[in-house]
Structure formats: C-alpha cells, structure tokens
A and B are shown apart, each in its own frame.
Chain A
Amino acid sequence: MIRYIIRRLLISIPILLIGSFACYVLVASAGNPLAEMRFRPGVTEADLKAAEVSLGLDKPVVVRYWNWLTDFLSGDWGQSIALGQAKTAVFPAVTDALWTTGRLVIGAELLALTLGVSVGVLAAVRQYSIFDYLATSTAFLMFSMPIFCVAVIVKNYGIQFNNVLESMGLDRWLTTAGPRPGGFTGSFGEVIFKYTGTFLLPTIALMLISFAAYSRFERASMLEILHSDFVRTARAKGISQGRVIFKHAFRNALIPVATLFSLNFGAVLSGAIITETVFGWAGMGTLLVSSVRQFDPPMLMGWLAVTATLIVLFNLIADVVYGILDPRIRLG
C-alpha cells in the first residue's frame, strides 16, 4: 500500500508540472497585466518599460514559468500585481480563501453524504414504494436544477424567514451576506445561535445538489447488490432482513459512493464557488472571480496550483479508499 501511494505520488509530479505549465501559458496569453497602465495619465513609455522589467514580462514565457516554479516551490508565491489595489501576498490570500471555502464545504458534504446514503438505501430497500418514487423524483429534479438558482431561492426564503422572526419581535437569525467578521462571541447559546445562523443557508444550498448525486448513486448501487448472488445466499441461509441489509448489502454498496465522494471534489468546488458568490463569502470563488476581473496572474497561478494539487490528492485518496474498502482490488 505504501509503495503504491509513493508510486502514485511520483506519477502525479509530471502531471502537475505539465498542468501548471499549461495554466501558465494560458494565463500569460490571456492578457497583459499592464494593459490598463498604458492609459493612465502621466505614465510614460519609460515607466511602462520599467514596470515590464520589474515583473519580468520582457522574458520569454518558458523562462518566466521556470522562475515562477522555483519561487513557488521555495515558498515564495509572489504578490498580486493588480493595478490600483494594495499589494497583497498570494500565499495568505489563497490559504485564507481555501479555509473559508473548506469550512463551508466540509459540513455540507458530510451532511449530504449522510442524508444521501440513508435516503438511497431506504429507496432501494423499499423499491417502487411511494418513498422511492418521491426520493427518486426529488433527486432527478435537483439534478436538473441550476445550482445558482437553488442558492438564490434558499437565500431569499431565508430573508423572508428573518422578516417573519423580526415581526414576531425576535432577532434576525439567518445571515445572508457572508460570515460575521470577528468570529463568534457571547454566551454558549449566543454562539450556537450565531453559528447556525451563519452556516445554515449556504450549507443547505450546497447540500441539496450533492445530496441528489449521492442518493441516486447509492440507490443504484444498493439495488445492484440486493439482486446479487451473495445476498440471495445470505437470505437462503436464513439471516434476518436487517442483518442482510446492513452487514451484507449496505457495506458493499458504500464502495462506489466512497469513490464518488472523493472524486466529486471538482464538482463540489464549482458548486461552492457559486454558493459563495450568492451568499457573499470571501472564499475560493470570490478570489477566482476577482483575480480574473482585475487580471492578476500571480494570484491566478497560486489559485490554480492549489486547486490542481488538491484534486490530484483527492483522486489518490479515492483510489486508496477504494483499495481498502474492496479487498478484491489489488493495489501495487
């Protein structure tokens, strides 16, 4: 297993190198970060040249990529160069954004997984019951639903709910515009109140979409297992229904979902980007959108490198988990 992991990590290195080079070329050819400077009053040709040299833009792309790569690997991720903005270092900006997104995503994904798996198993065990039809059609509907519309709807019903609370003489509970600055303070009850108010709506919005995928997948894989020979054997041996379902079928039906869970990272990330935008969280999505708008190559490269590495890591985790859960798969 250790050898397999090491080998996979070694294979990821060239993929990441080629991927980051492709990204660098893409970002470099997408535009000139100094394009706007040209139109500013009082900027001479010499200023422009000096800025170009200081950013290294006079060198060919390959050299610039090499410089970026060596800096990046030695921990110097550079500074944002967007005009008219304070110079911020890339590393803290990206890690802060990642932490914000992470807090949101982890809770939502765990909830979606638990709910999705339970609903999927129930729907499969009671196939063609009312519950099954309800669950299947809800999942299908959510699957065909644009994420941003779900987020907008959830947000606005949250606002209306707040208005109802206020008219009853209570505090507004749900936050619809970003997490509270300065963390959560106060008595235990107050912290819980603020914490749930902050996280509830974006978590629901993010959860609904993932839930659809997990419940559909779990239902399909559970149905397949319930109709397989070893389950029939278990039944024939006289094992009780509950034991067959939980000890024999459920455990095996979890394998494909576990893989989906780790492979789903890219989709979850884009879902999180949309949810963040609607709810005004300063996470990875906001960072991407703003650094594209202001055209900030160092920030974009930092963003791309972090996400690419994370995706590679999650793919590796998916394979390892698959190997652990399913002993028939021999890794090595």
Chain B
Amino acid sequence: MANINLASEGGVVSSAPESGSHEFDATKTRTQGQLVLRRFLRHRLAMVSFGVFVFLVLFAFLGPFIWTYDFEDVSSKSYQPMSGTHPLGTTQVGKDMLALLMRGTGYSLQIALIVAALATAIGVVFGALAGYLRGFVDTALMRLVDLLLIIPQIAVAAIVVKGFSGSWYVVALVLAAFAWMQIARITRGETLSLAQREFIEAARACGATTPRIIFRHLVPNMIGSITVNATLAVATAVLTEAALSFLGLGVQPPDTSLGVIVLENYGQFLNRPWLFWGPFIVLVALSLAVNFIGDGLRDAFDPRQTKVRA
C-alpha cells in the first residue's frame, strides 16, 4: 500500500497496465531507487548534462590513449595556430593543447571527485554523530567549524602547498578539509529532526548500537540530500581547485590542471584566443554539467519541492 502511495505522489503512476496475467496489478510497485532513477532519466537538462559529464570523463581518461601527442611532449613548434595536426594549437613551449587539455581535465576531475568523496564521508559521519549524540560531541563539532571558518582556505592551501608539496592529492586533501563543513551542517540538521522520530526510538529500544542506528537507519533516510550535496561539492571543488592553481598555489607544474593551463596561457588572450577559450569552455562545461546534474537529482529525490534554486 505504501508503495502505491509513493508512486502516485511522484506523479509516475503508469496508466498503461502491463500486459501481464494479474488483472489487479495495474499499478506497478517501485522501490525508492527505481522512482528516483525514473524521474532523473526524464529530467531532460540533467540527462544532457550527464551526457556532457560522461563525455568529459571519456575525453580525459580515454582520450590520451587515442590522441597521438603526449602532454609532456615539447617537440612541436612554439605557438602554432589551430590546424589538422594540432586542433587547438600549441603552447609557448610547444606542447599540444589538446593533449594538455585531456590531462588537465583528468587531474581536475580526479581532484574534484576525491574532494567530494572525502568531504561527504567526513561530513556525514561527523554531522550524524553530532546530531544524534548531541551534548559534548555536538559542541566540539560546532567549535571546530567555527575555527575552520575564521581561517581563509586560500591561505591554508597556499602554505600547505608551499611547505609540503603541490601534488594533486595534497591539493585534494586541503580542499576536502574545508569542504566537509557544509555537508556536516546539513546532515546534522536532518539528523536532529530524524532522531526524534518513532522508528529511531524503536531501533534504540531493540538495542541497536549507535553505529547501526546511524548507518542503517539515519543515513538511508537522508540519502537524497547527501547525494545532492555531494554532487554540488564536486562543482565547488572544480572551481576552487582551478582558482588555487591559477594563483600558482595549487597543482604545480609539471603536473597540470585546468587552472594551470589557464594560468600559463591567459596572456595570449588577444593574440591567440583559442589557447584561453579551450580550457575555459571545458571548465565551464564541467562545472555547469555537475551543477545541473545536482539540480536534476534534487528534483528526482524530492518532486514536491519547488524548482527554486537558492
């Protein structure tokens, strides 16, 4: 019964009965996962964005195997215009721009995905613990957030990258150290209200341990907002990483990322505009696609919510 209600709420009651043998089975029951997937697949903008995202992933990770030039290969002539051999031209030191873009997109994606995964894991565990246990744990978490809020991320990233190394995983760790707070705040807020509900009380009465309540009862009920915010964290991480690298405080050459490519080529904006617009378009496409996927997921998880973005 509950499943049928859910289905009609989402507006996806299948009117055409399956040509099955059960005559009372006009309304197919679907799990929450199936419902969400269906709604997401029908969200046109989100699907287009998903296509763009998949294309960029393939471009970054399969592209280098197909494309003939390597991103470290400096054998080509300096500053060649767009041509058949170099579709996006070459840079000052004679690197092929297309090969550079593939590598840069790969690094940016890698960093952003790891940041989002780490931030979500830390944020969910801390947020749920603070919201469920309250008291000392909660106070400690909030003070930690207060502390992290007063130190600019950009300065910490700069000092860490200078003092330790500019490897991509160091950059990812610093970004994650500042990105988990948002997810922790949201998880904490939802946990505070969920923890008052009867099913949690029932679980506790049955003797469920704290980890079990958090991971088997609380987290599955927040999976919507966790997924949406993890997606948005990817978009933020892409832009933050690019900005840090652009200032020379993120990924360090010879490693490359989209920010590094823009930094190295933006001086050519007027004379050789393709060297700027190439990485720019990839960067904007990536961040737009991820943002739209997040929007689509939000609508898919909660169809009643109005489509107002804030």
Contact = CB atoms under 8 A, between A and B. Distances in A.
Interface in A138-164: 140-141, 143-149, 152-153, 156, 159-160
A220 B162 contact: no
A228 to B, nearest CB: 14
Contacts of B215: none
Interface in B100-149: 143, 146-147, 149
A16 interface: yes
Nearest to A271: B243
A146 B163 contact: no
A146 B309 contact: no
Contacts of B243: 146-148, 270, 274
Interface residues of B, number: 41
B158 A289 contact: yes
Contacts of A194: none
B310 A220 contact: yes
Interface stretch (B11-19, B35-43, B279-287): B279-287
A77 interface: no
A131 to B, nearest CB: 16
Interface stretch (B61-69, B192-200, B246-254): B246-254
B152 A156 contact: no
A277 B158 CA distance: 14
A273 interface: yes
A31 B151 contact: no
Q: Which secondary structure dominates where chain A touches chain B?
A: helix
A3 interface: no
Q: Which of B160, B284, B308 has the most CB of A within 10 A?
A: B308
A270 B152 contact: yes
A307 B152 contact: yes
Given A30-B164, A152-B269, A303 B155 contact: yes
A247 interface: no
Given A31-B162, A216-B309, A289-B249, A311 B150 contact: yes
Given A15-B146, A220-B308, A277-B247, A146 B287 contact: yes
A308 B148 CA distance: 10
A26 interface: yes
Interface residues of A, number: 53
Nearest to A274: B243
Most buried by B among A22, A148, A315: A148
A160 B154 contact: no
B262 interface: yes
Contact of A304 (B151, B248, B288): B151
A23 B247 contact: no
Contacts of A31: 162-163
Contact of B270 (A23, A160, A293): A160
A10 to B, nearest CB: 14
A303 B162 CA distance: 16
A56 B154 CA distance: 28
Interface in B144-191: 146-147, 149-156, 158-160, 162-164
Interface of B: 143, 146-147, 149-156, 158-160, 162-164, 235, 239, 242-243, 246-249, 259, 262, 266, 269-270, 276, 280, 283-284, 287-288, 291, 306, 308-310
Given A266-B152, A277-B246, 20 more contacts: A19-B147, A19-B150, A22-B151, A30-B159, A145-B284, A146-B246, A147-B239, A148-B259, A149-B262, A156-B270, A223-B306, A223-B308, A274-B246, A288-B154, A289-B247, A292-B162, A293-B162, A304-B152, A311-B150, A315-B149
23 contacts: A18-B147, A26-B163, A29-B163, A30-B159, A30-B160, A30-B164, A31-B162, A144-B287, A146-B284, A148-B259, A152-B262, A153-B269, A220-B309, A224-B308, A277-B247, A285-B247, A289-B248, A292-B158, A292-B162, A300-B155, A304-B155, A307-B155, A308-B150
